Structure 1
């Protein structure tokens, strides 16, 4: 006998594990009076692979089924004296735990009651904040480049850092901070997030997200779904203090399923970009591939494979700032006429184009387009073996190769980036009993990148050694205040090569007993990071202003010493262990209690080629191990939280949590500075150059005391983040859940680095810091000294709201809003992560560095919609076809801008700085200067009238860090689909045509001013004769986000 009825049921979701890539199911079984039903038989079956698990409820009527593959299950419950209850369509997601509470009805076990009600979907058993991005969302929403990681930005608290070095620009900074999309999640640095594929960490050598030379992570068809654990993860999460992005690959089933696709995009329908000089530059992208999943042995062995290829020619419009024709002849906009040095004139004529756009002061814009040529091949495969009801094994292999080539910022050199990724995972699960299960996993992750490769000269001058600064080398880099940096000729970029291998082992034991869902586990990771430094092989010379360049007054010079530079191989191990108890105190109250212990070893080098100063003033280098004393030996991290269903109806949840999360001192925090340190790479830097030294007398001015090295704090304090949240959820029906919460965090002793700490130390006065006229360096034995210090403090507070309607009656809607603020004293572990960062924050006073985080976005709203449009269902086949099968997908994003800092070019402070400057102007205390921007004026976005040069010129200005907010973002991406089911060939065959439109509103979303255009004052002259003068062309917006 079978009845179809509506039964009482509550479905909630809770976080499961970072180390375990599957999901879990838990809940309670009660009788009609609400009393517990002990020893009820609970059977859960995955129909696609005919996998079955059985457990029994305990004396409190509770059950737990850990380690289930993500998918859709049937739940069957039976007990003597009760009708058998069947619940279909129980969805298990990655790294979550579905909570299904069932009420049995009196009757014979031969009577079956099938539950047809849509269960609530609140998270009533966890204090962690987790969101799942399902496979339909991943594959159906419009994705520019089909990068699945970018969809994490659909969730509250998640923001893509729009000032990361763009994939459309071939710069060394991209390789030296990681190639993937950078995201900040709830105030954490992008490098503090952990990306996992089937339970294996896939972060790159700089702690960033996985990515290719194109700046994205493809393989959409290989991803079944992924989750984002944004804050207050349980104790089974480790290695990183930020969010965890857990992805799980698709697997084969008992049915053969597959896909084949071709995405074609070109510039035929592209609107003209704001910076396009004429028609849009040519653009062509072919993205193609296919996947297939099938059974090798039915119910036992399953296989899945996916291939994706990409071929792209991307036309980009570029705007650079170059000297005007009048300035080249010595006629300055101030009315002054100067004699242009013949050497400067030679380089202007050979390398700098004349402006073809507006001229402001002595500088104009030059616009041109070029092409980036890219290709990528991506393969994912998975094999699953079901040995018995107690043992399962599966393995995953990922293979990704990519390369991109194109011209530099001045279109004189062709450059290239190459990347390779490999991931291997093998996992075995063993069921000792219905209450005890063990999961063992091994993994391997490899990331190889090479950049920038000089592929040849476009302009013959770029390969002319007679223009070089270093003997036998081509022209080097030239930095001029207010002018776009010329990165040099062939070989100037410096080729960095990284080989990163990560060997990983995990083991997790699950034990359910008397209302306790206990988890015990351990993880071990062995990392090998090999790097070949590029540095500045052709040399780099800086001028504080255009006038100083024209009159040959160089400020500083940096260059590698030819013949130096060694490949270094760093080795580090990470070990963690944990216990987690999710204690069902009551049926409507769960306590989440956890403790994690995690340590990392102090890095070694395979041949003990380590070097550091033990303090800033050390006269000699410390060579060999250890680099520093280990601060992680007492890293015990408690985590506590609760989830409460106040109405006991499964439709509401009140949750709160607090936890401590360690930021381990990993190699990436000082990898770049270590590679560039003497004696293994000799790179000299010098200031105080004589007039006329450019170009021939630059290299000869370097001395042994000008070599670069690093200073690593010898007794670092424990680095960690405290996280907390209070969150409320309510199911309002129709599959819709609303959520409102408060999230906060506080970073303690995070990593601080800056380009150079070896500068003249200032004197503190009532007016601020003032530099002495004839100051000396703290360490005269070296040139640039790059510090790594654990002294950064951060703070994040946010109100977050979310509404989510799962696909019901053909409509899926999700929207999230975050109103938050992130403050810190430094936002990155490297000095090149963000284009809006100050690369040389002062090391002598952390208070000077306090300001908005480089990635602070005050308000962010994201919404997405998938709508299956109802069609006509009549007798006319053609009408049914033409009206049916239509779908719409939309992603809307509205957000405020990112902060940046106005600066003064040169060194009027007389700090003897050999690298990028940090001198700030004074901001006037006027009402209109609270937000010193000219909104809607891209030609001069910064309101220059709000700033003046400090007096005296050797006083640091009061403007402060990150005081200006850049332009906001409004973007709508749309997709339209037509499904065509070919029933006469197969009931499951569908041919889909889709059209995707990105930025369909055609709104120009500007990026903040670049490093050239934030220099609002320049310095002319030298020494006591130097004068700070405004740069009229500064403050312009020259690129889009």
Structure 2
């Protein structure tokens, strides 16, 4: 039929009664931008036509919903009700997104009641299973406590999480979350969307994905719920590693309780909503650790060697627990059941007010506090971590005309973090200063090569805090002009990041072997000078502006054309205490301000000069085009062909500077002393005489920092094509391809001060000479932490998404992705952002390590469903057989990669980082893993890696004269492995071993007791939820941690390390949770 101009269209929010009135233009088109998500009634009226009402239209967050109104000739008093559902396909937008609406949030089984975890229901969204955990003593808090997601191949620090239009990322630009790693407030979230590709110019501050959530509002009816969720160990399965060591299931008590309620203060005008959620948890900790066997502690090594244990080490061994599990060679398994104690309180309040027909206002405030206590890996001391979060949002919406709407919004986001702070001693040895190597300290952090678990620094040895303040302002306007729907706006964010770290105040000792440890002969000592713990305060401002035009070129074709400009200022430090080398070879750094620290401590000048700016600003030309199309080839509103191309910038945000600046000379003097020439007096565990190690620290041992002074623009190009088809009134299917290319991405590492190798026909060959520090790029400094922009990335993915909305008491979703993500280094905050990361790679040639990303997963499938089981509607049978409901989430993926390694610095790179560089050779055609690893114990851990698939690098004829063989139990003159080449980089490659697959099924069973006598909506709900109901053990890949990871195949001398095993699980054993909810 013909188009009808001048039709009055009234759009009414069914919950609040708020109405927006617009009219159709000369083309019959109408638009009502910036509506809140919810259910609406759309009414069309015009003289000479019957009034048409289309009811209960669902508008999801951030979506563009096309509702066509078919007018019929008649009297306006005649009412025509249209019950046809709105189209399920996106006919006007090329954005790739997934929506998680309120029913899904409420009714699916949620482990920890973490609403953000449901983002993985969308294809292309992967939870990073190798996110660093709390219990290992590693620096998860320095990477951000929130759960990490990779969206369309992007790094987890490249996403933007929004609540009510404001960014709520943490200081590390990671996802929001408490110290438990979860986002509470399930009952306070109305719904959220996950934008995974080709999103409009409206969205900035991200090059990955956008998680866009909105809080619940009060309505014209009083509604809410009160609940209690309960878990304990009585019904739970035991941890795999506790079972392996014959230990009982640890105690577990978790109470998660709260209430949410909302309603009108003034009907149709003023509304309020509030939510409280609390957690009280005491959870047994099952932490597997590898420790020296009892025989080894006495000096009786498994190879028959007898060692006279140094007297200082005999005392020091009090810090190492005795093995209580299987023993293989010199290693034994120690596992204990400690307790994690958490008290968390989470609050949300939101108020909405209709000022007039043209003005609306809302305000949201969130407060979350969560202290967390636990023992360390060896049960030596109690550790405290805590998070305090404040989130506030204010927004005013003004309707200038039916075609022009403006939204002004302000926001505040604060995180205060205490990360892994030791607070009390369980083992008295952890508080014994006679075991220290630094003045006035307790024992240092200690690494023993060969697969042994790291000993943490003694009492008070860890103290790191982060404070993040983000002040935000946005102005967004929407204008409709004929076939053009324009949106344009401005954004500004002022960022304040304060951090404090007592870096290596107690020191770090590394031993090349267990034998060297027993002899008290470390390979290196790392530590900081007294009182060198200055806090830092980084400041930065972000500016952004955009324009977006959704142009209806034809009835069947819409073009989405946009441009965003987004830049940041160069970061500055409030006291001028920023420092960076201009080049790796520079003897002194450029500084933000003059500082005499080196002059007073070491008699050397502190800075080469005062720099006006750290680096040239790479963001000044950040113009980001966005283009997309949506085509309805049949014109029936049931098929859409969509595609697009966009550029997204990666901004140098303040959190990226913590890692290098926390230890940078001259504002924090910390260094590394290598013990490669044999025993040095004053280095090692010194019973009763700590502190003399300082005499070995000269200027050439001190840490430096290098941030690329003229970085290129860091951005991601993304493209996609997909087809979406509505198969029934409630069922849609989408299949598509999405790809991306990252340019000048961050490359991070702990030490770039290396010996540079020579490229030969056999590969990179190092001039092995461990006694010559002058071979390194900068012999006048020690380790140099770096931040370079020489990392290119790529991502290609086939994605399939099937969604069935709730109908006939059933809803279902299926998401599958087949993908490959490639890079040379995967960390943004640090090189070891994930537990399977190697801390430092070869910055001088990123091609060496260009391989699968640390978080890459080839196959990922996620299924979810909710079934409201049909039952009797009346009588006693209804009480027993009616009201049942089931929900389930099934996840499967093909595993995460890891890197096979040779322990220590076999190649002679002379790095002081936390991981070895050396890589073995791969046997051609060998799979690399044992398919029957569950029946192949392999000693302490499951023998996952097939060590027979790897060999020591070979000395080919053309390089044989320059090769140093692996000596094994022999000598250089008479090596155990002649013909090998320890100073040659092997060909096995980064991330060349794929870890075991993951299979997990969560299931829920609910019984609803509707009490109609109280009200139509009053319901008492009993819930039973089963997490990992199959009790399927899901293991992470063998880890490459320095000298103690199971990914280490060979020791420094070339003998097998006994590694290759699986040492931790990435999912819990079966947990059962019961709950009672009263809903009205």
What TM-score does the superposition give when structure 1 sets the normalisation length?
A: 0.94
- Contact 2:109/2:889 (8 A) holds in 1: yes
Distance in 2, Cα, partners of 1:344 & 1:1018:
25
Tell whether 2:661 aligns with 1:674. Answer: yes
- 1:278 maps to 247
Distance in 2, Cα, partners of 1:162 & 1:246:
23
Question: What is the correspondence of 1:184-583 to structure 2 with a 5 Å cutoff?
Answer: 184-276=150-242, 277-348=246-317, 350-481=318-449, 482-492=451-461, 494-583=462-551
- 1:864 maps to 864
Distance in 1, Cα, partners of 2:697 & 2:788:
28
What is the DSSP-based 3-state SS (H/G/I as helix, E as strand, rest coil) of the residue aligned with 2:357? coil
Distance in 1, Cα, partners of 2:546 & 2:815:
33
1:106 aligned to 73, 80, 97, which one? 73
> Given the superposition, is the C-alpha separation of residues 779 and 372 from structure 1 closer, same or farther in structure 2, using an over 3 Å criterion?
same
1:571 CA drift (Å): 0.5
Question: What is the correspondence of 1:780-929 to structure 2 with a 5 Å cutoff?
Answer: 780-829=779-828, 830-874=830-874, 877-929=875-927
Distance in 2, Cα, partners of 1:1038 & 1:586:
56
What is the DSSP-based 3-state SS (H/G/I as helix, E as strand, rest coil) of the residue aligned with 1:759? coil
- Contact 1:654/1:727 (8 A) holds in 2: yes
- Contact 2:663/2:669 (8 A) holds in 1: yes
What is the DSSP-based 3-state SS (H/G/I as helix, E as strand, rest coil) of the residue aligned with 1:355? coil
Structure 1: where are the runs of 5+ without partners?
1-33, 1021-1026
- 2:600 maps to none
- Contact 1:170/1:406 (8 A) holds in 2: no
- Contact 1:687/1:913 (8 A) holds in 2: no
- 1:66 maps to 33
What is the DSSP-based 3-state SS (H/G/I as helix, E as strand, rest coil) of the residue aligned with 2:942? helix
What is the DSSP-based 3-state SS (H/G/I as helix, E as strand, rest coil) of the residue aligned with 1:959? coil
Cα deviation digits, residues 745-769 of structure 1 (max 9, x gap): 1100011111100121112211111
Question: What is the correspondence of 1:603-682 to structure 2 with a 5 Å cutoff?
Answer: 603-624=571-592, 625-682=612-669
- Contact 1:360/1:1033 (8 A) holds in 2: no
1:1018 CA drift (Å): 5.2
Tell whether 2:123 aligns with 1:163. Answer: no
- Contact 2:469/2:495 (8 A) holds in 1: yes
Moved more, 450-459 or 906-915: 906-915
- Contact 1:361/1:1033 (8 A) holds in 2: no
Distance in 1, Cα, partners of 2:723 & 2:507:
57
- Contact 1:842/1:918 (8 A) holds in 2: no
- 1:940 maps to 943
- 1:750 maps to 745
* Bigger strand share: 1
1:672 CA drift (Å): 1.9
1:293 CA drift (Å): 0.5
Cα deviation digits, residues 421-445 of structure 1 (max 9, x gap): 0011110010000000111001110
Cα deviation digits, residues 647-679 of structure 1 (max 9, x gap): 111111000000111111112222221122122
- Contact 1:283/1:314 (8 A) holds in 2: yes
Distance in 2, Cα, partners of 1:686 & 1:444:
44
- 2:1070 maps to none
Moved more, 826-835 or 440-449: 826-835
Question: What is the correspondence of 1:967-982 to structure 2 with a 5 Å cutoff?
Answer: 967-982=996-1011
1:273 CA drift (Å): 2.0
- 1:15 maps to none
Moved more, 287-296 or 920-929: 920-929
What is the DSSP-based 3-state SS (H/G/I as helix, E as strand, rest coil) of the residue aligned with 1:975? strand
Cα deviation digits, residues 526-568 of structure 1 (max 9, x gap): 0000111231111000112212222333111111111111111
Tell whether 2:117 aligns with 1:85. Answer: no
- Contact 1:163/1:834 (8 A) holds in 2: yes
1:172 CA drift (Å): 4.3
1:233 CA drift (Å): 0.8
What is the DSSP-based 3-state SS (H/G/I as helix, E as strand, rest coil) of the residue aligned with 2:885? strand
- 2:778 maps to 779
1:1033 CA drift (Å): 4.3
Distance in 1, Cα, partners of 2:225 & 2:842:
55
Structure 2: where are the runs of 5+ without partners?
593-611, 687-691, 954-979, 1068-1080
Cα RMSD, aligned residues only:
1.5
- 2:1074 maps to none
Cα deviation digits, residues 297-320 of structure 1 (max 9, x gap): 111111111000101011121211
- Contact 2:580/2:614 (8 A) holds in 1: yes
1:933 CA drift (Å): 6.3
Distance in 2, Cα, partners of 1:1017 & 1:925:
13
Cα deviation digits, residues 875-909 of structure 1 (max 9, x gap): xx211211111110100011111000111221122
Paired positions, count: 997
